[in-house]
A and B are shown apart, each in its own frame.
Chain A
Amino acid sequence: MEEPRTPQVVLRNVTRIYERGAAGPVHALGPLDLDLPKGEFFSVVGPSGCGKSTLLEVIAGLAEASDGTVSFEGKAIAGQVPEGVGVVFQEDSTLAWLTVWDNIAFGLRRRGAMPGEIKRRVDDVVRLMGLGDFARAYPAQLSGGMRQRVCIARTLVLEPRLILLDEPFGALDQQTRLLMGDEVLKLWRETGATVFLITHALDEAAMLSDRVGVMSARPGRFLEIVETGWPRERDSRIAAHEDFGRLTSHLWSLLRDESLKALGYRTAAA
């Protein structure tokens, strides 16, 4: 396949400093660089407070970098979320007053798409994600996991070329998370989009991604970007692979000191 050589997302020297902390400005992120080729599945892991969500918001255009450049498909991101970027947040962002079907149709409607097209595309995504039985239900009647799937569906129906997920399965139990991970992989393959996933679960990052970025404690910078080398056709059963354990323990060895720092301990290095 002819893919352009320039990566889809390019971050150079990106830094984010919050002005309004209690003790003065907070250096939350960076400086860091990142290149995301189109169609890659990239995960970010790191201790709490290291700036993972900030990174996601900077890439999305929800937050502006204090320094450095961020570009998506060759164009600099300027304080607005570019068309073609979809975001699934950690908190439940379903609209309580709309049915599941109307929730999924929400983005299309705001774009002024024709009713016929809306129906076709929403029905497609509903079928793709197996939400058919719940199309007329309201979010309040669904579990947390189901609601997140609705949020994913709402993003997918807009056919984004880059999908950003901020710990979308954080509130769910392990079994559900594994199933959701498989579902995200399936959607990734079917849409060909680039996926950028933030997770606190090392095993999740290890089994789902092409590459895993390990972030340091605040200010977050990439300690290492680990290649997994997995084939494109994969699911959670890759955990049985002999390299999986090595991968996960490598991630942990990188993270252990950083996590101690985040918890307030002094480490050998500090």
Chain B
Amino acid sequence: MSAIVDRPRRIVGFVDTLLLVAFLILVWQILYEFAGEVALSPPIATIRYAIELLGSADFWPNVYMTFRAFGVALIIAMVGGLTLGLVLGLNRLLGEAYEPVLVAFYTVPKVAFYPVILLFFGIGMAAEVVFGVIHGIVPVVIFTMNAVATIKPVLLKMARTLGLSYWQLMTTVVMPAALPEIFTGLRVGFSLTLIGTLLSEMFGSRAGLGYMLMQAIGLNSVTLIMSLTLLIVVFAVLANALFLVIDKRLHRRG
């Protein structure tokens, strides 16, 4: 019943967001008028260049390089993060002991670790993957930990009265109950892994989107910088929006 009433509200919300995007593009255009060609490239020119990029021959190999590293990093971050989060969330002592360590790790600028990673792994995909993982794994662990730790105790008691085995408990009670929160962690982890991979390419690689960006900076090719940034941002936002839709649906069903 409430979904029917929600629909006009959601349409208004959608239109509002479109209006916001239009507003941002307008601000962009005004900034361009103000700052000139040396600093920015205007919206239309940027979009046109971006489309050209999508059609160009040397764009896609770079995309492949980035996504290869990103994909591996993502899998490790998610699986590793989930496992670690479950362990720390289910075991009171471990969770209490290591949560401050996690928080400290999260707040340290990861770029500080970057030279260390390069020294250990050398330039190449391994370093990129590690960098992506250290960025993305932390939110997954933290959200998973939190999700598991805040499961209503009555659910666990109820499961015990049903005589469930530990495995059944995990798969039929713990995971579904914790899923909405865990999924938010995965969503944030996705974005941060992407950023980590791109960052690592910016100064530790000879291929990939990050590398392309760094080259564009070196050549001071403003239009290229902005088009690449636009493409990356559009991808990140769309992927995140997709996650968000699922995230909201999970949270609504509780």
Contact = CB atoms under 8 A, between A and B. Distances in A.
A–B contact with Cβ pairs below 8 Å: the answer is: yes
B1 interface: yes
B107 interface: no
Contacts of B1: 22-23
Contacts of A23: 1
A23 B1 CA distance: 8
4 contacts: A22-B1, A22-B2, A22-B5, A23-B1
Determine chain A's interface SS by DSSP, over half rule. Answer: loop
Interface residue range, chain B:
under 10
Nearest to A20: B5
A22 B3 CA distance: 10
A124 to B, nearest CB: 43
B74 to A, nearest CB: 41
Interface of A: 22-23
A207 B32 CA distance: 77
A83 B101 CA distance: 54
A187 to B, nearest CB: 37
Interface in B1-50: 1-2, 5
A22 B7 CA distance: 12
Interface string B154-173: 00000000000000000000
A22 B5 CA distance: 7
B181 to A, nearest CB: 25
Interface string B174-198: 0000000000000000000000000
Nearest to B6: A22
A22 B1 CA distance: 7
Contacts of B2: 22
A23 to B, nearest CB: 7
Nearest to B1: A22
A23 B2 CA distance: 9
A23 B4 CA distance: 10
B5 to A, nearest CB: 6
B8 to A, nearest CB: 13
